[in-house]
Structure 1
Amino acid sequence: MLPLLAEFTSPGIGFQIGPLSIRWYGVLIASAVLIGVNLSQYLASRRQVNPELLSDLAIWLVLAAIPSARLYYVIFQWRDYVGNPASMIAIWQGGIAIHGAILGGAIAALIFARVKKISFWQLADLVAPSLILGQAIGRWGNFFNSEAFGSPTDLPWKLFIPLDRRPPGLENVAYYHPTFLYESLWNLGVFALLMFLFFKGSRLKVGTLFLTYMVAYSSGRFWIEGLRTDSLMLGFLRMAQVVSLTGIAIGAIGLFWLYGMKRSLPDVVDDPNPDSQPTR
Protein backbone atom coordinates (compact mmCIF):
# COMPACT_ATOMS: atom_id res chain seq x y z
CA MET A 1 0.00 0.00 0.00
CA LEU A 2 1.26 3.45 -0.91
CA PRO A 3 1.98 5.84 1.99
CA LEU A 4 -0.64 8.44 2.81
CA LEU A 5 0.33 11.87 1.44
CA ALA A 6 -2.76 13.92 2.18
CA GLU A 7 -6.13 13.30 3.78
CA PHE A 8 -8.78 16.02 3.51
CA THR A 9 -11.59 16.29 6.04
CA SER A 10 -14.11 19.11 6.02
CA PRO A 11 -14.23 21.10 9.27
CA GLY A 12 -17.92 21.79 8.68
CA ILE A 13 -20.17 23.98 6.57
CA GLY A 14 -19.86 27.13 8.66
CA PHE A 15 -19.11 28.85 11.95
CA GLN A 16 -20.76 31.15 14.49
CA ILE A 17 -19.98 34.76 15.33
CA GLY A 18 -22.22 35.42 18.33
CA PRO A 19 -25.80 34.81 17.15
CA LEU A 20 -24.77 35.03 13.50
CA SER A 21 -24.29 31.82 11.50
CA ILE A 22 -21.72 32.15 8.72
CA ARG A 23 -21.55 29.63 5.87
CA TRP A 24 -18.17 28.99 4.28
CA TYR A 25 -19.85 28.68 0.87
CA GLY A 26 -21.13 32.26 1.13
CA VAL A 27 -17.78 33.55 2.39
CA LEU A 28 -15.99 31.98 -0.56
CA ILE A 29 -18.45 33.33 -3.13
CA ALA A 30 -18.23 36.83 -1.65
CA SER A 31 -14.43 36.63 -1.57
CA ALA A 32 -14.28 35.44 -5.18
CA VAL A 33 -16.49 38.34 -6.32
CA LEU A 34 -14.46 40.93 -4.41
CA ILE A 35 -11.12 39.63 -5.65
CA GLY A 36 -12.45 39.24 -9.18
CA VAL A 37 -13.78 42.79 -9.41
CA ASN A 38 -10.50 44.27 -8.24
CA LEU A 39 -8.48 42.10 -10.61
CA SER A 40 -10.68 42.95 -13.60
CA GLN A 41 -10.43 46.66 -12.81
CA TYR A 42 -6.65 46.37 -12.64
CA LEU A 43 -6.50 44.56 -15.97
CA ALA A 44 -8.84 47.14 -17.49
CA SER A 45 -6.53 49.96 -16.43
CA ARG A 46 -3.63 48.16 -18.11
CA ARG A 47 -5.61 48.12 -21.37
CA GLN A 48 -6.86 51.71 -21.16
CA VAL A 49 -10.44 50.62 -20.47
CA ASN A 50 -12.40 52.59 -17.87
CA PRO A 51 -12.18 50.44 -14.68
CA GLU A 52 -15.57 51.73 -13.53
CA LEU A 53 -17.15 49.81 -16.41
CA LEU A 54 -15.93 46.59 -14.81
CA SER A 55 -17.39 47.46 -11.41
CA ASP A 56 -20.72 48.23 -13.09
CA LEU A 57 -20.51 44.99 -15.05
CA ALA A 58 -19.81 43.05 -11.85
CA ILE A 59 -23.22 44.03 -10.46
CA TRP A 60 -24.91 42.76 -13.62
CA LEU A 61 -22.92 39.54 -13.52
CA VAL A 62 -23.68 38.77 -9.87
CA LEU A 63 -27.39 39.51 -10.30
CA ALA A 64 -27.52 37.19 -13.33
CA ALA A 65 -24.96 34.49 -12.55
CA ILE A 66 -25.94 33.38 -9.04
CA PRO A 67 -29.67 32.86 -9.78
CA SER A 68 -28.79 31.21 -13.11
CA ALA A 69 -26.33 28.86 -11.39
CA ARG A 70 -28.99 27.85 -8.89
CA LEU A 71 -31.72 27.51 -11.51
CA TYR A 72 -29.51 25.31 -13.69
CA TYR A 73 -28.83 23.01 -10.71
CA VAL A 74 -32.45 22.87 -9.57
CA ILE A 75 -33.70 22.02 -13.07
CA PHE A 76 -31.50 18.92 -13.24
CA GLN A 77 -32.23 17.95 -9.62
CA TRP A 78 -35.93 18.77 -9.83
CA ARG A 79 -37.09 15.70 -7.92
CA ASP A 80 -35.13 16.86 -4.87
CA TYR A 81 -36.86 20.24 -4.78
CA VAL A 82 -40.38 19.82 -6.16
CA GLY A 83 -41.77 18.91 -2.73
CA ASN A 84 -40.00 21.78 -0.95
CA PRO A 85 -40.07 24.94 -3.07
CA ALA A 86 -38.48 27.08 -0.33
CA SER A 87 -35.27 25.03 -0.56
CA MET A 88 -34.82 26.09 -4.18
CA ILE A 89 -33.30 29.40 -3.08
CA ALA A 90 -31.09 27.98 -0.29
CA ILE A 91 -27.79 28.43 -2.14
CA TRP A 92 -25.93 28.68 1.18
CA GLN A 93 -26.49 24.94 1.49
CA GLY A 94 -24.61 24.34 -1.76
CA GLY A 95 -26.01 23.24 -5.06
CA ILE A 96 -25.05 25.73 -7.75
CA ALA A 97 -23.72 24.90 -11.21
CA ILE A 98 -20.90 26.94 -12.73
CA HIS A 99 -22.14 26.30 -16.26
CA GLY A 100 -25.43 27.95 -15.33
CA ALA A 101 -23.52 30.90 -13.88
CA ILE A 102 -21.42 31.26 -17.05
CA LEU A 103 -24.52 31.13 -19.27
CA GLY A 104 -26.40 33.69 -17.19
CA GLY A 105 -23.33 35.91 -16.90
CA ALA A 106 -22.69 35.78 -20.65
CA ILE A 107 -26.25 36.89 -21.41
CA ALA A 108 -25.95 39.73 -18.89
CA ALA A 109 -22.59 40.78 -20.35
CA LEU A 110 -24.01 40.84 -23.88
CA ILE A 111 -26.85 43.11 -22.78
CA PHE A 112 -24.44 45.29 -20.78
CA ALA A 113 -22.08 45.63 -23.75
CA ARG A 114 -24.91 46.66 -26.05
CA VAL A 115 -26.25 49.19 -23.55
CA LYS A 116 -22.79 50.67 -22.91
CA LYS A 117 -21.78 50.40 -26.58
CA ILE A 118 -18.56 48.54 -25.84
CA SER A 119 -17.17 45.35 -27.33
CA PHE A 120 -18.47 42.22 -25.61
CA TRP A 121 -15.20 40.45 -26.36
CA GLN A 122 -13.16 43.23 -24.78
CA LEU A 123 -15.16 42.81 -21.59
CA ALA A 124 -14.96 39.01 -21.78
CA ASP A 125 -11.16 39.12 -22.07
CA LEU A 126 -10.91 41.35 -18.99
CA VAL A 127 -13.27 39.16 -16.97
CA ALA A 128 -11.87 35.74 -17.98
CA PRO A 129 -8.89 35.68 -15.54
CA SER A 130 -11.14 36.78 -12.67
CA LEU A 131 -13.73 34.18 -13.63
CA ILE A 132 -11.34 31.24 -13.55
CA LEU A 133 -9.72 32.48 -10.33
CA GLY A 134 -13.17 32.75 -8.77
CA GLN A 135 -13.91 29.19 -9.86
CA ALA A 136 -10.69 28.01 -8.21
CA ILE A 137 -11.74 29.69 -4.97
CA GLY A 138 -15.36 28.58 -5.17
CA ARG A 139 -14.51 24.91 -5.53
CA TRP A 140 -13.43 24.92 -1.88
CA GLY A 141 -17.07 25.47 -1.01
CA ASN A 142 -17.63 21.88 -2.15
CA PHE A 143 -14.97 20.79 0.33
CA PHE A 144 -16.65 22.50 3.28
CA ASN A 145 -20.05 21.12 2.24
CA SER A 146 -18.68 17.58 1.61
CA GLU A 147 -20.19 17.56 -1.88
CA ALA A 148 -19.16 17.23 -5.54
CA PHE A 149 -16.57 14.59 -4.65
CA GLY A 150 -15.32 11.79 -6.86
CA SER A 151 -15.49 8.03 -6.84
CA PRO A 152 -13.99 5.89 -4.05
CA THR A 153 -10.19 5.80 -3.96
CA ASP A 154 -7.31 4.35 -2.00
CA LEU A 155 -4.74 6.72 -3.50
CA PRO A 156 -2.25 8.43 -1.17
CA TRP A 157 -4.43 11.58 -1.37
CA LYS A 158 -8.10 11.23 -0.52
CA LEU A 159 -11.13 12.99 0.87
CA PHE A 160 -13.03 11.74 3.91
CA ILE A 161 -16.80 11.99 3.47
CA PRO A 162 -19.12 11.81 6.51
CA LEU A 163 -21.58 8.93 6.56
CA ASP A 164 -24.63 11.13 5.93
CA ARG A 165 -23.08 12.59 2.76
CA ARG A 166 -22.02 9.32 1.12
CA PRO A 167 -23.77 8.05 -2.03
CA PRO A 168 -26.39 5.30 -1.70
CA GLY A 169 -24.73 1.89 -1.76
CA LEU A 170 -21.37 3.32 -0.68
CA GLU A 171 -22.17 3.92 2.98
CA ASN A 172 -19.25 1.74 4.04
CA VAL A 173 -16.75 3.61 1.88
CA ALA A 174 -15.13 6.54 3.68
CA TYR A 175 -12.61 7.94 1.17
CA TYR A 176 -13.15 9.49 -2.26
CA HIS A 177 -11.31 11.44 -4.96
CA PRO A 178 -10.99 15.12 -3.87
CA THR A 179 -12.32 16.40 -7.18
CA PHE A 180 -12.79 19.85 -5.66
CA LEU A 181 -9.00 19.98 -5.27
CA TYR A 182 -8.31 18.64 -8.76
CA GLU A 183 -10.50 21.31 -10.33
CA SER A 184 -9.23 24.09 -8.09
CA LEU A 185 -5.62 23.31 -9.03
CA TRP A 186 -6.51 22.97 -12.72
CA ASN A 187 -8.29 26.34 -12.61
CA LEU A 188 -5.27 27.96 -10.99
CA GLY A 189 -3.18 26.63 -13.87
CA VAL A 190 -5.62 28.13 -16.38
CA PHE A 191 -5.50 31.42 -14.46
CA ALA A 192 -1.69 31.43 -14.72
CA LEU A 193 -1.94 30.76 -18.47
CA LEU A 194 -4.38 33.63 -19.02
CA MET A 195 -2.30 36.05 -16.99
CA PHE A 196 0.81 35.04 -18.93
CA LEU A 197 -0.99 35.64 -22.23
CA PHE A 198 -2.35 38.97 -20.98
CA PHE A 199 1.06 40.35 -20.04
CA LYS A 200 3.30 38.51 -22.50
CA GLY A 201 1.06 37.91 -25.50
CA SER A 202 2.15 39.99 -28.45
CA ARG A 203 -0.87 41.95 -29.73
CA LEU A 204 -3.49 39.38 -28.92
CA LYS A 205 -6.65 39.68 -30.94
CA VAL A 206 -9.75 40.72 -29.03
CA GLY A 207 -11.53 37.62 -27.72
CA THR A 208 -8.40 35.46 -27.44
CA LEU A 209 -8.31 35.28 -23.65
CA PHE A 210 -11.95 34.30 -23.25
CA LEU A 211 -11.78 31.70 -26.02
CA THR A 212 -8.61 30.27 -24.46
CA TYR A 213 -10.44 30.13 -21.13
CA MET A 214 -13.28 28.17 -22.74
CA VAL A 215 -10.93 25.57 -24.21
CA ALA A 216 -8.63 25.23 -21.20
CA TYR A 217 -11.26 25.20 -18.46
CA SER A 218 -13.59 22.89 -20.38
CA SER A 219 -10.79 20.40 -21.06
CA GLY A 220 -10.09 20.03 -17.35
CA ARG A 221 -13.74 19.94 -16.37
CA PHE A 222 -14.43 17.17 -18.88
CA TRP A 223 -12.04 14.64 -17.34
CA ILE A 224 -12.64 15.67 -13.73
CA GLU A 225 -16.40 15.33 -14.20
CA GLY A 226 -15.84 11.72 -15.21
CA LEU A 227 -14.61 11.00 -11.67
CA ARG A 228 -17.63 12.42 -9.88
CA THR A 229 -20.49 10.43 -8.39
CA ASP A 230 -23.08 13.22 -8.33
CA SER A 231 -23.04 14.61 -11.87
CA LEU A 232 -26.14 16.36 -13.17
CA MET A 233 -27.54 13.96 -15.75
CA LEU A 234 -29.69 14.19 -18.85
CA GLY A 235 -30.58 10.59 -19.47
CA PHE A 236 -27.28 8.71 -19.57
CA LEU A 237 -25.26 11.84 -20.38
CA ARG A 238 -23.25 13.84 -17.85
CA MET A 239 -24.39 17.36 -18.66
CA ALA A 240 -21.13 18.97 -17.54
CA GLN A 241 -19.21 16.81 -20.00
CA VAL A 242 -21.60 17.66 -22.83
CA VAL A 243 -21.33 21.37 -22.06
CA SER A 244 -17.55 21.07 -21.72
CA LEU A 245 -17.22 19.48 -25.15
CA THR A 246 -19.40 22.26 -26.53
CA GLY A 247 -17.16 24.85 -24.86
CA ILE A 248 -14.02 23.25 -26.29
CA ALA A 249 -15.54 23.24 -29.77
CA ILE A 250 -16.74 26.86 -29.60
CA GLY A 251 -13.41 28.05 -28.20
CA ALA A 252 -11.37 26.17 -30.78
CA ILE A 253 -13.54 27.39 -33.67
CA GLY A 254 -13.31 30.95 -32.37
CA LEU A 255 -9.52 30.82 -32.14
CA PHE A 256 -9.31 29.38 -35.64
CA TRP A 257 -11.61 32.16 -36.83
CA LEU A 258 -9.30 34.77 -35.30
CA TYR A 259 -5.91 33.32 -36.22
CA GLY A 260 -6.55 30.82 -38.99
CA MET A 261 -9.02 32.88 -41.01
CA LYS A 262 -7.69 36.20 -39.65
CA ARG A 263 -11.15 37.63 -39.07
CA SER A 264 -12.64 39.47 -36.11
CA LEU A 265 -15.37 37.91 -33.99
CA PRO A 266 -19.00 39.00 -34.39
CA ASP A 267 -19.73 41.63 -31.75
CA VAL A 268 -22.46 43.92 -30.44
CA VAL A 269 -20.52 46.97 -31.66
CA ASP A 270 -18.36 47.65 -34.69
CA ASP A 271 -14.65 47.32 -33.92
CA PRO A 272 -12.65 49.65 -36.14
CA ASN A 273 -9.38 47.95 -35.20
CA PRO A 274 -10.05 44.28 -34.35
CA ASP A 275 -6.38 43.36 -34.01
CA SER A 276 -5.68 45.93 -31.30
CA GLN A 277 -5.87 45.57 -27.55
CA PRO A 278 -9.01 46.96 -25.85
CA THR A 279 -9.13 50.75 -25.62
CA ARG A 280 -11.24 53.28 -23.76
Structure 2
Amino acid sequence: MVHASIPSPPISSFNIGPLTIHFYALCILVGIVIAVWLTQRRLAQHGAEKGTVIDIALWAVPFGIIGGRFYHVVTHPNDYFFPGADLWKTLFVWEGGLAIFGGILFGGIGAFIACHRKGIRFWAFADALAPGLLLAQAFGRFGNYFNHELYGGPTTLPWGLQIESTNAAFPPGLPAGTLFHPLFLYEMIWNIAGAFLIIYIERRLRLHSGETLALYFIWYGSGRAFFEWLRLDPTEFTFLGLKANVIAALLLAIAGVILLAIQLRRKLPYPDNAYRPGREPKTASRTPPATDGQTESTPERLREGTP
Protein backbone atom coordinates (compact mmCIF):
# COMPACT_ATOMS: atom_id res chain seq x y z
CA MET A 1 0.00 0.00 0.00
CA VAL A 2 1.29 3.46 -0.94
CA HIS A 3 1.28 6.16 1.75
CA ALA A 4 2.12 9.88 1.69
CA SER A 5 3.02 10.11 -1.97
CA ILE A 6 2.16 12.18 -5.03
CA PRO A 7 -0.40 10.40 -7.22
CA SER A 8 -0.15 10.77 -10.98
CA PRO A 9 -3.23 12.45 -12.49
CA PRO A 10 -5.83 9.93 -13.70
CA ILE A 11 -6.43 11.94 -16.88
CA SER A 12 -4.24 14.06 -19.15
CA SER A 13 -6.98 15.68 -21.24
CA PHE A 14 -10.67 16.49 -21.43
CA ASN A 15 -13.17 17.02 -24.22
CA ILE A 16 -15.25 20.04 -25.15
CA GLY A 17 -17.56 18.73 -27.82
CA PRO A 18 -15.38 17.24 -30.57
CA LEU A 19 -12.31 19.14 -29.29
CA THR A 20 -9.76 17.41 -27.03
CA ILE A 21 -7.93 19.71 -24.64
CA HIS A 22 -4.62 18.41 -23.27
CA PHE A 23 -3.41 19.68 -19.90
CA TYR A 24 0.15 19.63 -21.23
CA ALA A 25 -0.76 22.16 -23.91
CA LEU A 26 -2.69 24.29 -21.41
CA CYS A 27 0.32 24.45 -19.10
CA ILE A 28 2.52 25.60 -21.96
CA LEU A 29 -0.01 28.27 -22.95
CA VAL A 30 -0.26 29.56 -19.37
CA GLY A 31 3.54 29.74 -19.22
CA ILE A 32 3.66 31.70 -22.47
CA VAL A 33 1.07 34.19 -21.21
CA ILE A 34 3.01 34.75 -17.97
CA ALA A 35 6.29 35.17 -19.85
CA VAL A 36 4.74 37.68 -22.27
CA TRP A 37 3.17 39.68 -19.43
CA LEU A 38 6.33 39.88 -17.32
CA THR A 39 8.59 40.59 -20.29
CA GLN A 40 6.31 43.40 -21.49
CA ARG A 41 6.31 44.92 -18.01
CA ARG A 42 10.09 44.78 -17.80
CA LEU A 43 10.69 45.99 -21.35
CA ALA A 44 8.24 48.88 -20.86
CA GLN A 45 10.67 50.29 -18.30
CA HIS A 46 13.03 50.77 -21.24
CA GLY A 47 10.40 52.67 -23.20
CA ALA A 48 8.85 49.83 -25.20
CA GLU A 49 5.32 50.42 -26.41
CA LYS A 50 2.40 48.37 -25.16
CA GLY A 51 2.01 45.18 -27.19
CA THR A 52 5.65 45.09 -28.29
CA VAL A 53 6.32 41.70 -26.68
CA ILE A 54 3.18 40.21 -28.21
CA ASP A 55 4.45 41.25 -31.64
CA ILE A 56 7.77 39.56 -30.92
CA ALA A 57 6.06 36.49 -29.46
CA LEU A 58 4.11 36.04 -32.70
CA TRP A 59 7.47 35.19 -34.26
CA ALA A 60 9.32 33.63 -31.33
CA VAL A 61 6.62 31.20 -30.14
CA PRO A 62 5.94 29.47 -33.49
CA PHE A 63 9.68 29.26 -34.16
CA GLY A 64 10.18 27.86 -30.67
CA ILE A 65 7.45 25.23 -31.06
CA ILE A 66 8.84 24.13 -34.40
CA GLY A 67 12.37 23.97 -33.02
CA GLY A 68 11.30 22.20 -29.85
CA ARG A 69 9.36 19.57 -31.75
CA PHE A 70 12.12 19.12 -34.31
CA TYR A 71 14.73 18.52 -31.59
CA HIS A 72 12.47 16.03 -29.81
CA VAL A 73 11.65 14.02 -32.93
CA VAL A 74 15.27 13.93 -34.08
CA THR A 75 16.47 12.71 -30.69
CA HIS A 76 13.65 10.11 -30.39
CA PRO A 77 13.50 8.64 -33.92
CA ASN A 78 12.38 5.17 -32.80
CA ASP A 79 9.20 6.70 -31.37
CA TYR A 80 8.13 8.07 -34.75
CA PHE A 81 9.93 6.22 -37.54
CA PHE A 82 9.22 2.49 -37.72
CA PRO A 83 7.32 0.18 -40.09
CA GLY A 84 3.67 1.19 -40.16
CA ALA A 85 4.23 4.39 -38.17
CA ASP A 86 1.83 7.29 -38.60
CA LEU A 87 4.24 10.06 -39.62
CA TRP A 88 1.62 12.70 -38.90
CA LYS A 89 2.28 12.04 -35.21
CA THR A 90 5.58 13.85 -35.59
CA LEU A 91 3.41 17.00 -35.60
CA PHE A 92 1.20 16.08 -32.62
CA VAL A 93 2.74 18.54 -30.18
CA TRP A 94 -0.26 18.29 -27.85
CA GLU A 95 0.63 14.68 -27.05
CA GLY A 96 3.90 15.80 -25.47
CA GLY A 97 7.40 16.07 -26.81
CA LEU A 98 8.74 19.63 -26.93
CA ALA A 99 12.46 19.91 -26.25
CA ILE A 100 13.40 23.21 -24.66
CA PHE A 101 16.85 23.30 -26.26
CA GLY A 102 15.41 23.32 -29.76
CA GLY A 103 12.84 25.82 -28.54
CA ILE A 104 15.49 28.18 -27.18
CA LEU A 105 17.55 28.05 -30.37
CA PHE A 106 14.73 28.44 -32.87
CA GLY A 107 12.73 30.75 -30.60
CA GLY A 108 15.78 32.97 -30.29
CA ILE A 109 16.03 33.15 -34.07
CA GLY A 110 12.36 34.10 -34.30
CA ALA A 111 12.79 36.74 -31.60
CA PHE A 112 15.86 38.18 -33.34
CA ILE A 113 13.92 38.53 -36.59
CA ALA A 114 10.99 40.16 -34.80
CA CYS A 115 13.25 42.54 -32.86
CA HIS A 116 14.92 43.60 -36.11
CA ARG A 117 11.54 44.27 -37.71
CA LYS A 118 10.31 46.25 -34.70
CA GLY A 119 13.55 48.16 -34.20
CA ILE A 120 14.01 46.66 -30.72
CA ARG A 121 17.49 46.03 -29.34
CA PHE A 122 17.80 42.25 -29.09
CA TRP A 123 19.84 42.34 -25.89
CA ALA A 124 17.23 44.53 -24.21
CA PHE A 125 14.51 42.05 -25.15
CA ALA A 126 16.54 38.98 -24.16
CA ASP A 127 17.41 40.40 -20.74
CA ALA A 128 13.79 41.38 -20.13
CA LEU A 129 12.66 37.89 -21.13
CA ALA A 130 14.98 35.80 -18.92
CA PRO A 131 12.95 35.64 -15.66
CA GLY A 132 9.65 35.18 -17.50
CA LEU A 133 11.15 32.38 -19.57
CA LEU A 134 12.10 30.50 -16.40
CA LEU A 135 8.53 30.87 -15.12
CA ALA A 136 7.16 29.64 -18.45
CA GLN A 137 9.42 26.59 -18.28
CA ALA A 138 8.21 25.91 -14.73
CA PHE A 139 4.62 25.74 -15.97
CA GLY A 140 5.72 23.54 -18.84
CA ARG A 141 7.17 21.10 -16.31
CA PHE A 142 3.79 20.95 -14.61
CA GLY A 143 2.49 19.69 -17.95
CA ASN A 144 4.94 16.78 -17.69
CA TYR A 145 3.16 15.78 -14.49
CA PHE A 146 -0.10 15.28 -16.39
CA ASN A 147 1.73 13.20 -19.00
CA HIS A 148 3.24 10.91 -16.31
CA GLU A 149 6.80 11.74 -17.35
CA LEU A 150 10.01 13.34 -16.11
CA TYR A 151 10.79 11.35 -12.97
CA GLY A 152 13.95 9.96 -11.41
CA GLY A 153 14.98 6.86 -9.52
CA PRO A 154 13.06 5.05 -6.79
CA THR A 155 12.57 6.79 -3.46
CA THR A 156 10.84 6.24 -0.13
CA LEU A 157 10.48 9.97 0.56
CA PRO A 158 6.96 11.24 1.37
CA TRP A 159 6.82 13.18 -1.90
CA GLY A 160 7.61 10.15 -4.05
CA LEU A 161 5.69 10.07 -7.33
CA GLN A 162 3.34 7.23 -8.20
CA ILE A 163 3.91 5.88 -11.72
CA GLU A 164 1.96 3.00 -13.21
CA SER A 165 4.05 -0.09 -13.95
CA THR A 166 2.79 -0.05 -17.56
CA ASN A 167 4.59 3.24 -18.23
CA ALA A 168 7.20 2.88 -20.98
CA ALA A 169 9.87 4.41 -18.74
CA PHE A 170 9.06 2.24 -15.71
CA PRO A 171 12.32 0.43 -14.85
CA PRO A 172 12.09 -3.34 -15.39
CA GLY A 173 12.42 -5.49 -12.31
CA LEU A 174 10.83 -3.02 -9.90
CA PRO A 175 7.55 -3.95 -8.22
CA ALA A 176 4.32 -2.11 -8.98
CA GLY A 177 3.75 0.67 -6.48
CA THR A 178 7.39 1.81 -6.46
CA LEU A 179 7.67 5.56 -5.89
CA PHE A 180 10.01 7.79 -7.88
CA HIS A 181 11.64 11.20 -7.47
CA PRO A 182 9.31 13.82 -9.03
CA LEU A 183 11.91 15.54 -11.19
CA PHE A 184 9.22 17.68 -12.80
CA LEU A 185 8.55 19.19 -9.36
CA TYR A 186 12.24 19.66 -8.57
CA GLU A 187 12.77 21.49 -11.85
CA MET A 188 9.67 23.62 -11.32
CA ILE A 189 11.07 24.78 -7.98
CA TRP A 190 14.53 25.33 -9.51
CA ASN A 191 13.13 27.47 -12.33
CA ILE A 192 10.89 29.56 -10.09
CA ALA A 193 13.76 30.13 -7.65
CA GLY A 194 16.00 31.13 -10.58
CA ALA A 195 13.49 33.70 -11.83
CA PHE A 196 13.33 35.42 -8.46
CA LEU A 197 17.09 35.16 -7.94
CA ILE A 198 17.80 36.86 -11.27
CA ILE A 199 15.38 39.67 -10.42
CA TYR A 200 17.03 40.05 -7.00
CA ILE A 201 20.50 40.21 -8.54
CA GLU A 202 19.29 42.85 -10.99
CA ARG A 203 18.05 44.96 -8.12
CA ARG A 204 21.24 44.62 -6.11
CA LEU A 205 23.88 44.88 -8.84
CA ARG A 206 24.52 47.10 -11.83
CA LEU A 207 24.23 44.56 -14.62
CA HIS A 208 25.07 45.37 -18.23
CA SER A 209 23.43 44.37 -21.48
CA GLY A 210 23.38 40.61 -21.99
CA GLU A 211 24.37 39.71 -18.44
CA THR A 212 20.84 38.84 -17.33
CA LEU A 213 20.52 36.45 -20.26
CA ALA A 214 23.89 34.93 -19.34
CA LEU A 215 22.66 34.30 -15.79
CA TYR A 216 19.62 32.54 -17.22
CA PHE A 217 21.81 30.28 -19.38
CA ILE A 218 24.00 29.38 -16.39
CA TRP A 219 21.15 28.78 -13.96
CA TYR A 220 18.89 26.83 -16.28
CA GLY A 221 21.65 24.92 -18.05
CA SER A 222 23.36 23.70 -14.87
CA GLY A 223 20.11 22.71 -13.21
CA ARG A 224 18.73 21.01 -16.28
CA ALA A 225 21.95 19.01 -16.75
CA PHE A 226 21.60 17.62 -13.23
CA PHE A 227 17.90 16.76 -13.62
CA GLU A 228 18.46 15.12 -16.99
CA TRP A 229 21.26 13.04 -15.48
CA LEU A 230 18.79 11.73 -12.88
CA ARG A 231 15.99 11.17 -15.38
CA LEU A 232 14.88 7.61 -16.13
CA ASP A 233 13.26 8.21 -19.52
CA PRO A 234 15.02 6.15 -22.19
CA THR A 235 17.24 8.05 -24.62
CA GLU A 236 18.52 7.03 -28.04
CA PHE A 237 21.48 9.40 -28.26
CA THR A 238 24.48 9.35 -25.94
CA PHE A 239 28.04 10.62 -26.21
CA LEU A 240 30.81 9.58 -23.83
CA GLY A 241 28.13 8.01 -21.68
CA LEU A 242 26.12 11.24 -21.40
CA LYS A 243 22.59 11.72 -22.67
CA ALA A 244 22.04 14.21 -25.48
CA ASN A 245 20.01 16.47 -23.21
CA VAL A 246 22.71 16.47 -20.53
CA ILE A 247 25.26 17.56 -23.13
CA ALA A 248 22.93 20.24 -24.50
CA ALA A 249 22.26 21.58 -21.00
CA LEU A 250 25.97 21.69 -20.17
CA LEU A 251 26.69 23.51 -23.42
CA LEU A 252 23.98 26.03 -22.54
CA ALA A 253 25.55 26.65 -19.12
CA ILE A 254 29.02 26.98 -20.68
CA ALA A 255 27.63 29.42 -23.24
CA GLY A 256 26.25 31.44 -20.32
CA VAL A 257 29.64 31.57 -18.62
CA ILE A 258 31.31 32.69 -21.87
CA LEU A 259 28.63 35.29 -22.55
CA LEU A 260 28.88 36.64 -19.00
CA ALA A 261 32.68 36.89 -19.26
CA ILE A 262 32.44 38.74 -22.57
CA GLN A 263 29.77 41.16 -21.36
CA LEU A 264 31.61 41.83 -18.09
CA ARG A 265 34.68 42.73 -20.12
CA ARG A 266 32.77 44.93 -22.55
CA LYS A 267 30.64 46.52 -19.78
CA LEU A 268 28.03 47.71 -22.23
CA PRO A 269 25.64 50.02 -20.33
CA TYR A 270 21.92 49.63 -20.75
CA PRO A 271 20.64 51.94 -23.49
CA ASP A 272 18.27 54.82 -22.82
CA ASN A 273 15.44 52.74 -24.21
CA ALA A 274 14.71 49.43 -25.88
CA TYR A 275 14.73 50.83 -29.42
CA ARG A 276 17.65 51.12 -31.79
CA PRO A 277 18.59 54.69 -32.77
CA GLY A 278 16.13 56.10 -35.27
CA ARG A 279 13.52 53.39 -34.67
CA GLU A 280 11.79 54.93 -31.64
CA PRO A 281 8.03 55.37 -32.09
CA LYS A 282 6.89 58.98 -32.05
CA THR A 283 4.79 58.37 -28.95
CA ALA A 284 7.61 56.73 -26.97
CA SER A 285 9.13 58.72 -24.14
CA ARG A 286 12.87 58.82 -24.03
CA THR A 287 15.39 59.72 -21.36
CA PRO A 288 17.94 62.21 -22.74
CA PRO A 289 21.38 60.65 -23.14
CA ALA A 290 24.24 61.62 -20.84
CA THR A 291 26.40 64.46 -22.09
CA ASP A 292 29.54 62.33 -22.28
CA GLY A 293 27.88 59.81 -24.59
CA GLN A 294 27.61 57.19 -21.84
CA THR A 295 24.63 56.16 -19.73
CA GLU A 296 26.59 55.53 -16.58
CA SER A 297 23.71 56.36 -14.26
CA THR A 298 21.05 54.67 -16.38
CA PRO A 299 21.60 51.05 -15.29
CA GLU A 300 21.28 51.90 -11.60
CA ARG A 301 18.18 53.98 -12.28
CA LEU A 302 16.57 51.22 -14.31
CA ARG A 303 17.35 48.66 -11.63
CA GLU A 304 15.37 50.55 -9.03
CA GLY A 305 11.89 49.10 -8.95
CA THR A 306 12.59 46.47 -11.62
CA PRO A 307 9.89 43.77 -11.24
Among 192, 197, 201, the residue aligned to 2:196: 192
- Counterpart of 1:63? 62
Q: Report the structure, 1 or 2, having the larger helix content.
A: 1
CA distance in 2, matches of 1:216, 1:20: 38
- Counterpart of 2:73? 74
- Counterpart of 1:241? 246
Distance 1:110-1:238 versus aligned 2 partners, 3 A rule: same
Q: TM-score, normalised by structure 1?
A: 0.87
- Counterpart of 2:230? 227
One-letter amino acid matched to 2:29: A
Helix, strand or coil for the counterpart of 2:107?
Answer: helix
Deviates more, 1:70-79 or 1:42-51: 42-51
CA distance in 2, matches of 1:18, 1:154: 42
Among 215, 219, 223, the residue aligned to 1:216: 219
* 1:181 to 2:185 alignment: yes
Question: What is the root-mean-square deviation in Å for CA atoms of aligned residues?
Answer: 2.5
One-letter amino acid matched to 2:229: G
Deviates more, 1:128-137 or 1:238-247: 238-247
CA distance in 2, matches of 1:274, 1:67: 39
Deviation at 1:233, TM superposition (A): 4.4
Larger Rg: 2
Among 228, 250, 256, the residue aligned to 1:251: 256
Deviation at 1:202, TM superposition (A): 4.0
- Counterpart of 2:25? 26
Note the 1:1-280 alignment, pairs <5 A: 6-82=5-81, 83-165=85-167, 166-167=169-170, 169-170=172-173, 172-173=175-176, 174-198=178-202, 200-230=203-233, 232-235=235-238, 236-259=241-264, 261-264=265-268, 276-277=298-299
One-letter amino acid matched to 1:190: G
Deviation at 1:21, TM superposition (A): 2.5
- Over the matched positions of the two proteins, sequence identity in percent amounts to 33
Helix, strand or coil for the counterpart of 1:222?
Answer: helix
Deviation at 1:117, TM superposition (A): 3.3
Deviates more, 1:67-76 or 1:14-23: 14-23
- Is residue 149–residue 180 contact of structure 1 (8 Å, CA) maintained in 2? yes
Deviation at 1:169, TM superposition (A): 1.7
- Is residue 55–residue 114 contact of structure 2 (8 Å, CA) maintained in 1? no
CA distance in 2, matches of 1:102, 1:129: 14
Deviates more, 1:14-23 or 1:79-88: 14-23
One-letter amino acid matched to 1:80: D
- The unaligned stretches of length 5 or more in structure 2 are 270-274, 278-292, 303-307
Q: Deviations over 1:203-247 (max 9, x none)?
A: 320111111000011111111111101154423321121112111
CA distance in 2, matches of 1:264, 1:270: 15
Helix, strand or coil for the counterpart of 2:251?
Answer: helix
Distance 1:121-1:233 versus aligned 2 partners, 3 A rule: farther
Helix, strand or coil for the counterpart of 1:15?
Answer: strand
Q: Deviations over 1:1-23 (max 9, x none)?
A: xx965423223211234544221
- Is residue 231–residue 238 contact of structure 1 (8 Å, CA) maintained in 2? no
One-letter amino acid matched to 2:22: R
- Is residue 221–residue 244 contact of structure 1 (8 Å, CA) maintained in 2? yes
CA distance in 2, matches of 1:71, 1:144: 22
Q: Deviations over 1:136-177 (max 9, x none)?
A: 011011100101221222223211112221435256343211
